Amino acid sequence: MIRTEFDDIHFQIERQFHVLKHFVKLDSSYMHEIMQTMHFSEKLIVDQLETTASKYHPEFVKTPEQLIVFLLRNFNLATLSEIEPRHEVTIMVNPIAFPDGIGTDNLIRKDDVCEEIWSNSEYQNVNGVNIRTISICSVSTWQVNFIIKREKTFLQLITAFPGKMAPPFPEHFTKKTLDYFESVNFWQNHAFASKLPSLIRNS
């Protein structure tokens, strides 16, 4: 049975499915459970795993549940403000434990690539949002980010991903607000690397 409650923090199955886009491989028993619990087809899960996104190495985690365990072992939730409704938690992993990184970061700045590569970028529709992709490999990362929402009586994990923190896409904001313009500016100058390094692709 898929676990959704961990002490004072919850991780809904729908949220766990969303996070699968950051995995390249799942524990077989977890995959069976989510197919049975949510009546997801194997194709739907595989499509989610193959979504262009930053990815966790299978050696680091193989289920979304393991991300919660990692969070609870490395961060004290009691230190989060009880006033703020949303929290961003970043944990850096010791490279000695994972020399090749805990995963890959596919978020690339425009200034970090040559003009020719940037001008040949393409757009890929992901969950109704057109994202810019460029044909280069993502890079190793030792950073894990958690977005946590405070409910009335518990905390809710919204998402967890490896690599640099980035704002939501402009489509998530009301147009002409400050958050909207900041998001537009960010995504005009960033793209997703569309290739995985062989180390993680062949895991």
Give the pLDDT confidence of 18-52 residue by residue, as tens digits: 999 999 999 999 999 999 888 889 999 999 999 88
Q: What is the pLDDT of residue 127?
A: 63
Q: Enter the tokens of residue 120.
A: 């040949």
pTM of the predicted structure, to 2 decimals: 0.86
Q: Which percentage of the chain shows pLDDT scores above 90?
A: 60
Mean pLDDT of the 109-113 span: 90
Q: What is the pLDDT of residue 202?
A: 46
- 14-18, 116-120, 156-160: lowest mean pLDDT where? 116-120
* C-alpha span between 57 and 197 (Å, rounded): 11
In Å, what is the CA distance from 130 to each residue of 112, 123, 188? 21, 6, 12
Q: What is the pLDDT of residue 38?
A: 83
Q: What is the pLDDT of residue 200?
A: 45
Strand order of the β-sheet with 139-141 is: 55-56, 103-105, 139-141
Residue pointed to by tokens 């004072």: 8
Q: What is the pLDDT of residue 194?
A: 80
What b/e string do you get for 154-175 counting C-beta neighbours within 10 Å, with b at 16 or more? ebebbbbbbbbebbebbeebee
Give the pLDDT confidence of 133-167 residue by residue, as tens digits: 888 888 999 999 999 999 988 999 999 999 998 88
* C-alpha span between 199 and 203 (Å, rounded): 7
Residue pointed to by tokens 């969070």: 71
Mean pLDDT of the 169-190 span: 90
Q: What is the pLDDT of residue 197?
A: 62
Give the pLDDT confidence of 82-103 residue by residue, as tens digits: 889 999 999 999 999 999 999 9
* C-alpha span between 47 and 57 (Å, rounded): 18
